[in-house]
Amino acid sequence: MYGKLEVWLRVIRFKFLAASAIAVTNGLALSYCYQPNNFNIFYAILTYIGIFCLHSSVDLFNDYWDFKRGIDLITKKTKFSGGTGVLPEGLLKPTEVYRAGIIFLILGLSIGSLFVFVKGYVIAIILGFATLSIALYSNKLVNIGLGELFVGIKGVLIVIGSFYVQTSTIILESIIVGGIIGLLSSLVLYINSIPDIEADQEKGRKTLAIILNTHSQSKIFTFVLGLFVIIYFLTFIFYYFVADNNYSFIINLILLPLAIFIIYKFYIYTSGYKKDESFYEKIMEKTVLFSRLYGFSIVLGILIMCIYNYKK
């Protein structure tokens, strides 16, 4: 029984659900900060469950289609790339994974529909985007270089939606925080897709990594550097000019050495000094770690902002 559960947790990429959990938590923390008296615990729990179901649905469909197209049969699997390996190893049947994807999609949409009934058309728009994206992601969006864009927009909408469910409003703060979370997710997806360039290209995919791979290594490095700069710039704008709380930014600055470490290692990789798999796997590992810690640091920053504003 435990073995089967472990397989299912692996195929839904349970560890990567942390990205959605952080996005929801940011939206909820922001909503509590602005309307603490209206915070609804039941809605918060439903939001987590609904987002987890939709996230799992995307990953299940992605595994199914990658196996059907033969991508996962030729990728070099790592902890962060190359698929889950569940279908190539015969641990589950493709039909089982596909059915599970549909079940999770229905569960997620059911919870979303409840919020549409309670909160109205804004949630309906977000839910519509989620449905369309899940249906198109694995066999359409990733074929035209829009995978990272989808993941980025998803991060924005999760934060906005989690905030809206609690407050029935959309504010600039929720949009900026969503942008930060979305960029973190896009960064992770791009970095983790680089080892799969050859396999994806052979099977007809056209990911952002494949598109950028036609450019010089210096431009690829500049692109990744730019993502880090924009993430920190948006955070600075959020705390200093929108939220009017300078102290919270210190938490993000603590993570700056980790960001510099990743950028430096990626520079070494793109410069061709080190191309071995173990070296790049460390880059992926540190990028995922940075993304999680940075997302969590925004939650802490928001809570500090709440305490500061309350004392004022």
For 98-107, what is each residue's pLDDT tens digit?
Answer: 999 999 999 9
d(CA 199, CA 221): 22
Given a cut of 90, is residue 206 above it in pLDDT?
no
Average pLDDT of span 220-248: 91
Percent of the chain's residues with pLDDT above 70: 97
Q: Whose CA is closest to 262, among 280, 250, 275, 276?
A: 280
Residue 310, pLDDT score = 60
Residue 289, pLDDT score = 96
Q: Whose CA is closest to 105, among 133, 86, 142, 85?
A: 133
pLDDT band at 309 (very low <50, low <70, confident <90, very high): low
Q: Which of 25-29, 44-48, 129-133, 267-271 comes out lowest in average pLDDT? A: 129-133
Average pLDDT of span 62-81: 82
Given a cut of 80, is residue 312 above it in pLDDT?
no
Residue 292, pLDDT score = 96
Q: Whose CA is closest to 13, among 65, 70, 55?
A: 55
d(CA 153, CA 29): 20
| Element (DSSP H or E) covering residue 173 | helix 172-193
Residue 2, pLDDT score = 44
Cα diameter, the chain:
60
Average pLDDT of span 125-147: 80
Write the DSSP symbol of residue 15: G
- The first and second tokens of residue 62, run together, are 């992605």
